[in-house]
Amino acid sequence: MNAIDGTDRHIVTEGAPPPSLLAIVLDTNPHAWAELHSTLPLSSALSALLVFINAHLASGNANEIVVIASHTNCAEWLYPSPRGPYPSSPTTEPNGNSSEARHNKDHVPGDPNKFRPFSLLEHSILTSLSRLVSSTTSADLASTPTTSIGGALSLALTYMSKAALLREPVANDAANANPLSALADSESATTTRTTLTSRILILSVSGDLANQYIPVMNCIFAAQRRRIPIDIVKLAGDTVLLQQASDATGGVYVKPERPEGLLQYLMMAFLPDATSRRSLVMPTAGGVDFRAACFCHRNVVDIGYVCSVCLSIFCSPTLQDNLCLTCGSYLSLRSATSKTPQVIPRKKKKKKRLGTDSATPGPSAVGTPMHG
Amino acid sequence: MVKAIRGTLVKCDASVKAMLVDIDSKHRNEFIIEDLDEEHVLVKETKVAQFKAMLQNMMKEKLKEPELSDSDD
Amino acid sequence: MSGSSSEQAYEYLVLLPRQTHTKLYEQPSTVLAVFRCMLPHLAKTIVMAMLYMPTPFSAVDLEAWFRPEGKSVKDKALSALERLHIIQAKQDATRHMHYELSKGFANSLRQALTGGGTHRSFGVPSSTPDPNKVDTEFLDAYARKQWENILFYMVGSTVGLASSAQLSQDIGLGTKKLLEMGNFVQVRSGRVSITREGFTFVLQETNAQVWSLLIVYLRHTPELGMSETDVLSFLFMLGSLELGQDYTTSTLSETQLQMLEDLSAFGIVYRSSKNAATFYPTRLAVTLTSDAGALSTSDSLSSISASRSSSQQGFIIVETNYRLYAYTNSLLQISILSLFTKLTTRFPNLVSGKLTKESITRAVKLGISSSQILSYLTSHAHPQMQKHQPFLPPTVMDQIRLWEYEGERVETTPGFLMRDFKSWDEYRDLKEYAESLGVLVWHHDEKRWFFVNGVDQLSLYMKKKVTRGGE
């Protein structure tokens, strides 16, 4: 009779696909949305997104959703909304906005025309978003023209990892007391047992993200390891980084030709979960630009300098005190500038094995930066 | 023209099938519609339960089950 | 007998005629429920892709969307959608095939997703505060009591519980009648005995039990003078309500008011009195349209972990030496276990026993199949057992199956034998189609015969082929 408690229903029949957790990272960069306003204002993008979220929840009974705003200077939860009041609000706001945030579930009016979970979710996302927008000051806007996608991705990944842990089939006593202790388990053991399939969808409008190359790249590697595909809808701008993200994690990359038809793009290309994708042909980024960004100025470079110890990439040989910015070891790049770095042309007639050898420059030919 | 015949497919091993055919022949062929192959026969849908019961009886007569003691505790 | 609750409801639903489907699809709550729990996973993907598509989906494009290895799942999904009259295959002037969503279904689904319209099909919450408001714990306890009583009524007499006579008074006359009509129990000279179907029923998961009972209810609605559509849409509406919220009865139709009374006898809804102006759905109701019931708990991780640690998950341990330990003191659970276990010892919170050949074959004779026993043991396995995959020791699983097969020397499948094909190509074409639908059971290539367990889709396919070829 335990089933009447409604709590142990995760024992689903074997044939059913595993529940899927979708984290949506919504780029709320005001600069970019202002430019997009004529074709696709934020409000209509949001309504398309809400329909998409509802469709995702309807596609599987145990499906879950997370929405994170990647704002100019911070990453913010939109759903599930943080339980407690905002750190700054309880004292500064006189009309008790904070208590409303805590109890907003009770305040959602019952709408007979709407499925209850949908209206709760919509309410939560809209309130959080409007609070985020109203709390943005012009100083925040002036400080940076881009968006903190790295922070939002990290939030999504941590949430997913926690969700996967909590869904482990066995919550033995030790793990129950401290679920994070299970993190100490070997990585492979936790990923194979997980009963949740996760994916991330980034709705991106901002252009240049190279300034966040390192944090985003780290997120990509983490996602790759946990087998979480990162899907990208690129509404405006173009960035190498996100193309690499979807390519490395096996996600979907779509740059809609007509952004106003966003909903159809979402429904067709991004709704299928891992189970369906196995039998569908999914769009991916065609030619991916694999260039990296340098660690010193965040420029995307074709040819750069590499630290011989930690493999950090630099675009110019002028380093402060001749020290590597990442690992701090002595690195004299200037000695290398006598000859500009060049790509060695592959010799066609040689056998393949020899060919790879020749791709690495010989010790004297180019003058690799010396360490020491 | 393609024909669809309603019936129940009975899958069994060859020895059981021999018994089934035997029962059928003793009862004016009123059970089996079609003999399909070594392990399959097509039986009239309405007679399946009766057919199975007769098979059980026949097996009881012919096979002496070894007495097993389950309680080893 | 399928174990999954939604499958049962699906099988009932596909048998309804097109007119009933069209009528059902007028309610967004029904459409959402059908979408959520009746459709195969890939069918949902197809429907969603087509929902906001401005033009019909041409068959060629659909083909291209699927990988070659996904062909059989695609055919299955499309066939399910066609049987429920959700999509139609059409031919345009240039004789290209394309698919269209049925208009009523598409409109209602869009309304359900966007929340528009004035259909009020997701339940009207009561506007006046209820003086006798009840909380979810009360509703859970109520639902559990009512439902356990029904199960007790069925099982009690068979396992010879002394108290079964009193228990049978706790459930209503209507419920008793329904159980009899559904052939779950037989009443002979005042004595209640459980049938083969009854065992299947008892060993199912609660959600599936509720659906089984409701389907019996649905089958008999015409006799009670109720409209099937009304009943169905009310059930689907119940599935989309919120636990702990009171809903007004003033907007319900005559049929639905009558249903409320029956449903409160099952413990599916709660009413403080017969004439109360409000009703509360219980957990049995709100999980009607979900296998997992987790949709509403997704609002935060902390709530998941809290509910998980507090819930009692499973209580049965089976060892490789066939010994069984069950941490329970519920009479009902013990009596269900005693159907197929030789129970030896009982402690305040534990019973122990053994799975023996004798006990299993006795259960098989009563009409319980080995797969039912295994699925019962699996779904109630203790968390310690759930560490292994599969939960039960494989030796025990195999042995239970073998014990059953010893008694059952033949395997029967009702269906149709297809024969007399004109050509090899015709035979192969139809056989392959049957295979992709998953209905092919046996085939003999030399004779050009094959056996299927479902023929409606095949005959449709053949008709389509004839008309296409005839043009």
Domain that holds residue A332: 292-371
Q: In chain C, what residues touch A54 (CB-CB under 8 Å)?
A: 113-114
Instruction: With respect to residue B51, please indicate whether it lies within any of the assigned structural domains.
Output: yes
| pLDDT at site C379 | 79
| pLDDT at site A285 | 64
Domain that holds residue B41: 8-62
Q: In chain C, what residues touch B5 (CB-CB under 8 Å)?
A: 416-417, 419
CATH 3.40.30 fits C5-114, yes or no: no
Describe the crossing of helices C103-114 and C28-37 by its angle, rounded to 10 degrees.
Answer: 90
- CATH fold, domain C416-470, is Alpha-Beta Plaits (3.30.70)
Tell if the CB–CB gap between B11 and C442 is shorter than 8 Å. Answer: yes
Rounded Cα distance, C83 and C95, in Å: 23
| pLDDT at site C321 | 92
Residues of chain A where predicted confidence (pLDDT) is lower than 70: 1-16, 82-110, 168-195, 285-286, 334-343, 347-372
C contact residues 350-379, partner A, Cβ 8 Å cutoff: 378-379
Instruction: With respect to residue A223, please indicate whether it lies within any of the assigned structural domains.
Output: yes
Q: In chain C, what residues touch B20 (CB-CB under 8 Å)?
A: 410
| pLDDT at site A175 | 39
In this structure, are residues C443 and C451 in contact, taking their beta carbons and an 8 Å threshold? yes
Q: In chain B, what residues touch C414 (CB-CB under 8 Å)?
A: 7-9, 45, 48
Residue A328 shares a structural domain with residue A270: no
Nearest C-alpha in C relative to B41: C412
Domains C5-114 and C416-470 are alike in CATH topology? no
The answer to whether residue C444 neighbours chain B at the CB level (below 8 Å) is yes
In this structure, are residues A193 and A168 in contact, taking their beta carbons and an 8 Å threshold? yes
Instruction: With respect to residue B36, please indicate whether it lies within any of the assigned structural domains.
Output: yes
Conformation bin of residue B19: beta by default, left when phi > 0, alpha when psi is -120 to 50? alpha
Q: How many Cα atoms sit within 13 Å of C6 on the Cβ side?
A: 23
Tell if the CB–CB gap between A115 and C116 is shorter than 8 Å. Answer: no
We report the CATH number of the domain holding residue B39 as 3.30.70.1220
Rounded Cα distance, A4 and C138, in Å: 12
Q: Mind telling me how many Å the CA of A354 is from chain C's nearest CA?
A: 39
ipTM: 0.81
Nearest C-alpha in A relative to C302: A166
Residue A342 shares a structural domain with residue A235: no
We report the CATH number of the domain holding residue A91 as 3.40.50.410
Nearest C-alpha in A relative to C296: A117
Residue A308 shares a structural domain with residue A265: no
In this structure, are residues C431 and C461 in contact, taking their beta carbons and an 8 Å threshold? no
Q: Do chains B and A touch (3 or more CB pairs under 8 A)?
A: no
Tell if the CB–CB gap between A170 and C333 is shorter than 8 Å. Answer: no
| pLDDT at site A367 | 46
**Which are the contacts of C201, defined by CB distance < 8 A and separation ≥ 6?**
C154, C182, C184, C209, C212, C213
Residue A162 shares a structural domain with residue A308: no
Rounded Cα distance, A36 and B3, in Å: 64
**Which are the contacts of A319, defined by CB distance < 8 A and separation ≥ 6?**
A296, A325, A331, A333
Residue A126 shares a structural domain with residue A250: yes
Candidates C364, C417, C427: best to mutate against B (most CBs of B within 10 A) is: C417
Q: In chain C, what residues touch B12 (CB-CB under 8 Å)?
A: 409-411
For chain B, which chains pass the contact test of at least 3 CB pairs under 8 Å?
Answer: C
Tell if the CB–CB gap between C412 and B48 is shorter than 8 Å. Answer: yes
CA angle (A168 as vertex; A164, A171 as ends), nearest 5: 130
Residue that finishes a domain, picked among A250, A277, A304: A277
Q: How many domains does chain A fold into?
A: 2
Q: In chain B, what residues touch C449 (CB-CB under 8 Å)?
A: 36
Q: How many Cα atoms sit within 13 Å of C298 on the Cβ side?
A: 30
Q: How do residues B26-49 score in pLDDT, each as one tens digit?
A: 888 888 888 888 888 888 888 888
B contact residues 48-67, partner C, Cβ 8 Å cutoff: 48, 52, 55, 59
Residue that finishes a domain, picked among A224, A246, A277: A277
Rounded Cα distance, C193 and C170, in Å: 17
DSSP string across A251-307: --EE--SSGGGHHHHIIIIIS--HHHHTTB-----SS---PEEPTTT--EESS-EE-
Q: In chain C, what residues touch A277 (CB-CB under 8 Å)?
A: none
Q: How many domains does chain B fold into?
A: 1
Beta bridge partners of C419: B3
Instruction: With respect to residue A174, please indicate whether it lies within any of the assigned structural domains.
Output: yes
Q: Which helix (H) or strand (E) holds C353?
A: strand C350-354
Rounded Cα distance, A360 and A343, in Å: 9
Nearest CB to A4; choose among C42, C241, C284: C284
CA-wise closest residue to C274 among C254, C257, C287: C257
Tell if the CB–CB gap between A111 and C122 is shorter than 8 Å. Answer: yes
Instruction: With respect to residue B3, please indicate whether it lies within any of the assigned structural domains.
Output: no
| pLDDT at site A68 | 92
DSSP string across C363-391: HHHHT--HHHHHHHHHHTB-TTGGGSSSS
The answer to whether residue B7 neighbours chain C at the CB level (below 8 Å) is yes
How large a percentage of chain B has pLDDT more than 70?
A: 84
CB pairs under 8 A between A and C: 211
Instruction: With respect to residue B28, please indicate whether it lies within any of the assigned structural domains.
Output: yes
The answer to whether residue C72 neighbours chain A at the CB level (below 8 Å) is no
Instruction: With respect to residue B72, please indicate whether it lies within any of the assigned structural domains.
Output: no
Conformation bin of residue C244: beta by default, left when phi > 0, alpha when psi is -120 to 50? left
For chain C, 471 residues long, give each residue's pLDDT as a single digit of tens. Answer: 334 566 778 888 888 888 888 888 988 888 888 888 788 888 988 999 999 888 888 888 888 888 888 888 888 888 889 888 999 888 877 778 888 899 999 999 998 888 877 777 777 877 777 677 778 888 888 888 888 888 888 876 655 554 544 555 567 778 888 888 888 888 776 677 777 788 878 877 777 788 888 888 888 888 877 888 888 888 888 888 888 788 888 888 888 888 888 888 888 888 887 777 888 888 888 777 765 433 223 233 333 333 333 334 678 999 999 999 998 887 788 888 888 899 999 998 899 999 998 888 888 877 788 888 888 888 788 888 877 778 889 999 999 988 887 766 777 888 888 888 888 888 888 888 888 888 888 888 888 888 988 787 788 888 877 776 544
In this structure, are residues C326 and C316 in contact, taking their beta carbons and an 8 Å threshold? yes
Burial of B3 (0-12, 13-18, 19+ CB in 10 A): exposed
CA angle (A29 as vertex; A23, A33 as ends), nearest 5: 105
Tell if the CB–CB gap between C295 and A117 is shorter than 8 Å. Answer: yes
Nearest C-alpha in B relative to C355: B70
Q: In chain A, what residues touch C386 (CB-CB under 8 Å)?
A: 169-170
Give all strands (DSSP E) within B1-73, no chain letters. Answer: 3-11, 32-37, 40-43
Could you tell me the sign of the dihedral formed by the alpha carbons of C233, C235, C240, C245, in that order? positive
In this structure, are residues A273 and A252 in contact, taking their beta carbons and an 8 Å threshold? no
Q: pLDDT-derived band of residue B57, with 50, 70 and 90 as boundaries?
A: confident
Instruction: With respect to residue A356, please indicate whether it lies within any of the assigned structural domains.
Output: yes
Domain segments of chain C: what residues? 5-114, 136-286, 316-407, 416-470
